[in-house]
Amino acid sequence: MEEGARGRGAGLASFRRYTWWAVPGTVVCVMVVSYGSWALDADVPGWARVPVVPAVVVAAVASAVLLGGLLHDGDPVRLPVGWLLVAGAAAVVLAVFPLARHNYGLWAVAPAVTVAIGASYVPARARWVLIGGAVVLALVPGGAVSLAAGDGELAYAAAFPAGLVAFTVWTVLGPLWAWHVAGQLDRARQLEAELAVKDERLRFASDLHDIQGHHLQVIALKAELASRLTEADPARAAAEMQEVRQLCADALRDTRAVVQGIRRTTLDDEIANATRVLAAAGIDARMDLEPAAVAAELDESVRGLLGLVMREATTNVLRHSHARVAEVDYRLSCGQARLRIGNDGADIPPGAADGTGLRALAERLRAAGGELTWERRDGDRFEVTAALPVQGAPR
């Protein structure tokens, strides 16, 4: 079960790749293109180009490392302070030289990215304080340079960098938040699937305990009383032992009733339960149920055996695969009720040597005049097929 859940968690890989290209990939491309085109401008003097080129390389690498650390399968790693300091130092260089050339639209790109990355690592309350402070602070450098130069671009020089910081934070934090939520939902589905199986086991254990607990306690007390009365009152001791014998018979009958209750689980209930459990595990359960087969008045033993096959196949899907899709096909054909359960993403052939495994079920279906087969096909596809006579066979 645990291995299967981990395999299904790998289904986030495509979403992780998309988020990586949407956030770190876009950030790196924007910085390289923006600062690269500025550095290639013939009007920019050499003293401004020389420090900008290595600074943009350092900023791009540091940003990719920091943002990649947020895309692990699980909670984000702790803030890499060293990489953040490197990104901050590069952002300062990339801000100073364009600003010295009065490029009010470019200087804030690298600082805005650094603020967005830092905000991704800090708690929510501190995050909003950091973002608000950065937006307000972004008004100052461009506005001060514009006032000192007297170029008449004060509004643009102050407002555009502040808006750029807010927009960059929004575009970076949005996809990262979606990735974090998707990871939480995936782990919740895995946990729900595990709990669904464990709940079923606990239900049987609870039924068995409730039935046997009282019987065993009374049997122990009666047997102790009879042992004490053996010499003092043999007749009463014999009566007590007779009651112990009756209690044992009752306990055996009730135990058989519990087991028979499981064996008589109907196919309809198991199909409904499989739909719920597979959906909880994030598996697309596709049901193709022939109306005539669903409405048919089948022998109770037939429905019970098919119900057990449905349950065992569902358990194997959860335990031995990282399936994305499972199909259930149930119909009547040539006087037989045929049930087929298939899934993709099979890891290993289910081990079913004992107990309620597939081999044990195959023997029971043969005894009832039916057949149970399973096969692996097309690499990772696994199918279980059960066929039983509509009227069943005598037990």
Beta-bridge partners for 286: 327
What is the per-residue burial (b if ≥16 Cβ within 10 Å, else e) of 19-34? bbebbbeebbebbeeb
Reported confidence tier of residue 387, pLDDT bands at 50, 70, 90? very high
pLDDT digits (tens, 9 = 90+) for 209-252: 656 766 676 787 778 878 888 888 888 888 888 888 887 887 88
Give the Å distances, CA to CA, from 45 to 12, 52, 341, 351. Answer: 47, 11, 71, 72
CA angle 285, 287, 289 (to 5 degrees): 165
Could you give the maximum distance between any two Cα atoms of the chain, in Å?
A: 119
d(CA 390, CA 299): 7
Which domains can be identified in the chain, with CATH numbers? 2-188 (no CATH), 199-263 (1.20.5.1930), 267-389 (3.30.565.10)
Q: Exposed/middle/buried for 229, CB within 10 Å: 0-12, 13-18, 19+?
A: middle
Determine the pLDDT at residue 348. 60
pLDDT at 206: 61
**CA–CA separation, 270 and 310 (whole Å):** 6
CB 153 within 8 A of CB 172: no
Mean pLDDT, all residues of the chain? 82
Whether 2 shows a pLDDT value over 50: the answer reads no
260: buried, middle or exposed (CB in 10 Å: 19+, 13-18, 0-12)?
A: exposed
Express each pLDDT in 60-107 by its tens digit. Answer: 999 999 988 888 765 555 778 888 999 999 999 999 999 999 999 899
Say what angle helices 154-232 and 109-121 make with each other, to 10 degrees.
20
Q: Indicate the pairing of strand 325-333 with strand 284-289.
A: parallel
Look at residue 47 and tell me whether its pLDDT is greater than 80: yes
Q: Has residue 326 got a pLDDT over 80?
A: yes
Quote the pTM value. Answer: 0.55
pLDDT attached to residue 217: 65
pLDDT of residue 3: 46
Residue pointed to by tokens 């807010």: 166
Compute CA distances 161 → 109, 270, 389, whole Å. 8, 61, 77
Q: What pLDDT score does 196 carry?
A: 80
Q: How far is the C-alpha of 315 from the C-alpha of 319, rounded, in Å?
A: 6
Q: pLDDT at position 201, please?
A: 76
pLDDT-based confidence at residue 207 (cuts at 50, 70, 90): low
Contact 194, 1 (CB under 8 A): yes
34 is written with which tokens? 């923006």
Phi, psi of 348 (to 5 degrees): -135, 155
